[in-house]
Amino acid sequence: MRKTGLLNTAIIKEISAIGHTQYLIIGDAGLPIPKDTLLIDLALKSGVPSFLETAEAVLDEMVVEHCYLADEIKEKNKKLNTEIGKLTENIACDYIMHEELKKMSEYARVIIRTGETSPFANIVLVAGVNF
């Protein structure tokens, strides 16, 4: 057993296997999952686990060089947008339209589904390298 950090074996496996520039998406409970995309479904009930809990755990383990958020989060979920900004302060992030973010999910290596039910609680993480 690991001493600290992420304990979910499926997520650890995917972070270990992800390649430079591949996408890992953390999504809310309503994000559509493309048919052939690997899904790690953590959703237990509404709000559990939260998007922020999940994002923090993943970001503690994964090298991320860039991220994308839905532009709509700036108006529809200001509080979460602020909290995400704190988590990603050292990562270059761009805002794109939510429809474009959903299209990016078709190219994701994996999507982690949370129990989050607040609007536009989705992030595309672009894998970096540690060298």
- Residue ranges and CATH numbers for the domains of the chain are 20-127 (3.40.1650.10)
Q: What pTM was estimated for this model as a whole? A: 0.96
Q: Which helix (H) or strand (E) holds 123?
A: strand 123-127
Q: Flag whether 131 is marked binding.
A: no
- pLDDT tens, 71-105? 999 999 999 999 999 999 999 999 999 999 999 99
Q: Flag whether 77 is marked binding.
A: no
Q: Name the nearest CA neighbour of 114 among 16, 39, 34, 28.
A: 28
Sheet holding 108-113, edge to edge: 38-41, 108-113, 23-27, 123-127, 64-70, 92-96
Q: Flag whether 98 is marked binding.
A: yes
Q: Which of 9, 13, 20, 74 is catalytic?
A: 20
Q: Is 66 one of the annotated active-site residues of the chain?
A: no
